[in-house]
């Protein structure tokens, strides 16, 4: 079985049982619902105790349970074709240069980690239509200036 087939099996069971992602992520627990759902959709790895809970919940085989604990090949074809995912891509493409400039001005020469990272979402009621709120927090990782000589910073932290 391939990861994509396991994802389809999980989606079929979820649909058949009438479960919500909220229910599934609460039953499995242990980490952010975004990570739990991401793992069940084939984009993340579930730690062994959570893979055990997911396998029990979905009635998976031993091999399928082990697959949930394997590191997947992550990502989707670019640009994405799903409208919601495309809008998130568009958000980064349009706002990315400004965010890059502001992050570099504040922190220095580096990147925001997408591995040492927190992501939250919630619903904000609004009379003009409810809003989706995304909160991202990633560790700043400065570039290392390897071969730096004495007097030259070793890392790209903001210079005062």
Note the maximum CA span of the chain: 65
User: For 69-88, what is each residue's pLDDT tens digit?
Assistant: 999 999 888 889 999 999 99
Catalytic residue among 8, 26, 70, 90: 90
Q: Which fold has domain 3-68?
A: 434 Repressor (Amino-terminal Domain) (1.10.260)
What are 79-88's contacts with CB under 8 Å, separation 24+? none
Please report, for the chain, the start and end positions of each structural domain, with discontinuous segments joined by +.
3-68, 83-142
Amino acid 78: pLDDT:
86
Reply yes or no on domain 83-142 having CATH 1.10.10.10. Answer: no
State the pLDDT at residue 151. Answer: 85
Res. 147: pLDDT tops 90 = no
Q: What is the dihedral of CA 122, 44, 142, 146, to 10 degrees?
A: -170
Q: What is the predicted pLDDT for the residue at 148?
A: 83
pTM of the complete model: 0.83
Q: Which of 70, 74, 113, 137 is catalytic?
A: 113
Could you confirm whether 113 is annotated as catalytic? yes
Residue from 8, 70, 74, 87 carrying the catalytic annotation = 87
């Amino acid at each position: 079985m391939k990861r994509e087939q396991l994802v389809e099996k999980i989606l079929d069971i979820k649909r058949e049982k009438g479960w919500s992602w909220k229910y599934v992520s609460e039953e499995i627990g242990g980490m952010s619902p975004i990570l739990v759902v991401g793992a069940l959709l084939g984009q993340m790895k579930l730690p062994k105790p959570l893979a055990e809970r997911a396998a029990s919940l979905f009635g998976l085989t031993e091999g399928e349970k082990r697959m949930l604990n394997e590191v997947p090949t992550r990502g989707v074809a670019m640009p994405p074709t799903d409208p919601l995912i495309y809008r998130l891509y568009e958000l980064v493409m349009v706002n990315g240069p400004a965010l890059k400039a502001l992050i570099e001005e504040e922190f220095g020469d580096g990147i925001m980690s997408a591995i040492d990272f927190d992501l939250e979402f919630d619903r904000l009621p609004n009379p003009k239509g409810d809003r989706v709120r995304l909160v991202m927090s990633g560790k700043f990782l400065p570039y290392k200036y390897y071969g730096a000589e004495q007097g030259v910073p070793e890392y790209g932290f903001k210079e005062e």
